[in-house]
Amino acid sequence: MKAVEPPVIHFANFLSPLLQETYDELATYVGNKLTLPVTSGVSANLAELQSGQADIGFLCGLLYTRIQATGEHPVELLAAPVLQGARYQERPIYFSDVIVNRTSPFKNWADLRRSTWAYNEEASHSGYNLVQYSLLERQEDNHYFGKTIKSGAHLQSLQMVLTGQADATAIDSHILDVVLHRDPQIAAQIRIIDQFGPSSIPPVVAARHLPLEIKQAIQNLLSTAHEEPRLAQSLQAANIQRFVPVRDSQYDDIRHMYARVQGSGHPDHAIQTI
């Protein structure tokens, strides 16, 4: 009689590839602890979480809330990272840092009126939704900028500021922290002149089709991953102190901001990506 093959747990990174090495190590750690085969990789297709091609996802908080708003509830929250640094207050939050080239004349947000602004994509919370919300909170809209350019990714937006193609951009503070730690030369070329947030940080989610006992086991392993010496080094390299369990209500801040932006007449770009 043929032996039953154990299920393969597929980890999918829907965030920046900058953190992929750490996500790979987390996947390997989970696989070893559960004695289950795992795969890990960068993905751009959220349908994988619904089709069974992906079981665990590292996902933008905005996309998490929009997926849940469809009524199908294809994913469940497992955990979210607590980042290293005093401004994160030992909580699973992050910011959107407004950066400019160090040689530019821009000193604060007011200086950016009629500037050239780069953003990563409309489905991003830190790069787009939070920026639009912050503009509304300051009684402004997208016409505040002289020109906006879609870059496609946070790292491309950063590159556009470095090369002078854009005057400013807003970058996920988690991503920026890692970039500046790894490359002091980039740190010497930019200035942070403002920040938006805090917002609830991108979570780790499990597809609904995954068995409950596996979901619970992975949640427990994520919550204690920082206690494993080798894995702790990888987490620190990604500016992650530890993972903590999170609840759906913790993402109501993003829901509120998104509703405000949509109420101002913006098309529902996030739902178009699902």
DSSP the chain: -PPPPPPPEEEEE-S-GGGHHHHHHHHHHHHHHHT--EEEEE---THHHHHTS-SEEE--HHHHHHHHHTSS--EEEEEEEEESSGGGTTSSEEEEEEEEETTSS--SGGGGTT-EEEES-TT-IIIIIHHHHHHHHTT--GGGSSEEEE-SSHHHHHHHHHHTS-SEEEEEHHHHHHHHHH-HHHHTTEEEEEEEEEEEPPPEEEETTS-HHHHHHHHHHHHHGGGSHHHHHHHHHTTEEEEE---GGGGHHHHHHHHHHHHTT---HHHHT-
Same domain membership, residue 181 and residue 112: yes
Same domain membership, residue 188 and residue 101: yes
Evaluate whether 204 touches 79 at the Cβ level (below 8 Å): yes
Which of 175, 199, 223 is the last residue in one of the domains? Answer: 199
* Residue closest to 266 by CA, chosen among 155, 123, 108: 123
pTM of the entire structure? 0.91
Query: What angle, 0 to 180 degrees and rounded to 10, lies between the N-to-C axes of helices 212-224 and 20-34?
Result: 120
Same domain membership, residue 208 and residue 75: yes
Same domain membership, residue 194 and residue 99: yes
Please state, in angstroms and rounded to a whole number, the distance separating the CA atoms of residues 10 and 53.
7
Residue 126: give the domain boundaries: 93-199
Q: Which residues of 29-67 are buried (b: 16+ CB within 10 A; e: fewer)?
A: bbbeebeeebebeebeebebbbeeebbbbbbbbbbbbbb
Q: Is residue 137 part of a domain?
A: yes
Q: Is residue 247 part of a domain?
A: yes
Please state, in angstroms and rounded to a whole number, the distance separating the CA atoms of residues 127 and 149.
12
Same domain membership, residue 15 and residue 77: yes
Specify the pLDDT at position 48.
86
Q: Is residue 211 part of a domain?
A: yes
Same domain membership, residue 212 and residue 79: yes
Would you state the structure tokens that stand for residue 8, as one six-digit string? Answer: 């393969």
Q: What is the domain-level CATH number for residue 100?
A: 3.40.190.10
Specify the pLDDT at position 274.
44
Specify the pLDDT at position 222.
97
Specify the pLDDT at position 187.
94
Q: Is residue 224 part of a domain?
A: yes
Specify the pLDDT at position 268.
54
* Residue closest to 93 by CA, chosen among 82, 104, 84: 82
Domains in the chain, number: 2
Same domain membership, residue 161 and residue 104: yes
Q: Is residue 256 part of a domain?
A: no
Which of 199, 224, 240 is the last residue in one of the domains? Answer: 199
Q: Is residue 2 part of a domain?
A: no
Q: Is residue 1 part of a domain?
A: no
Please state, in angstroms and rounded to a whole number, the distance separating the CA atoms of residues 208 and 181.
36
Same domain membership, residue 224 and residue 192: no
Same domain membership, residue 244 and residue 217: yes
Specify the pLDDT at position 182.
93
> What does 77-141 look like in DSSP terms, one character per residue?
EEEEEEESSGGGTTSSEEEEEEEEETTSS--SGGGGTT-EEEES-TT-IIIIIHHHHHHHHTT--
Same domain membership, residue 75 and residue 104: no
Same domain membership, residue 165 and residue 135: yes
pLDDT per position in the chain (274 positions), as tens? 444 566 889 999 999 999 999 999 999 999 999 999 999 999 878 888 878 789 999 999 999 999 999 877 889 999 999 999 999 999 999 999 999 999 999 999 999 999 999 999 999 999 999 999 999 999 998 899 999 999 999 999 999 999 999 999 999 999 999 999 999 999 999 999 999 999 999 999 999 989 999 999 999 999 999 999 989 999 999 999 999 999 999 999 999 999 999 988 765 554 444 4
**Lookup result for tokens 């996947």:** 27
Specify the pLDDT at position 267.
59
Same domain membership, residue 173 and residue 115: yes
Specify the pLDDT at position 273.
45
Q: Is residue 180 part of a domain?
A: yes
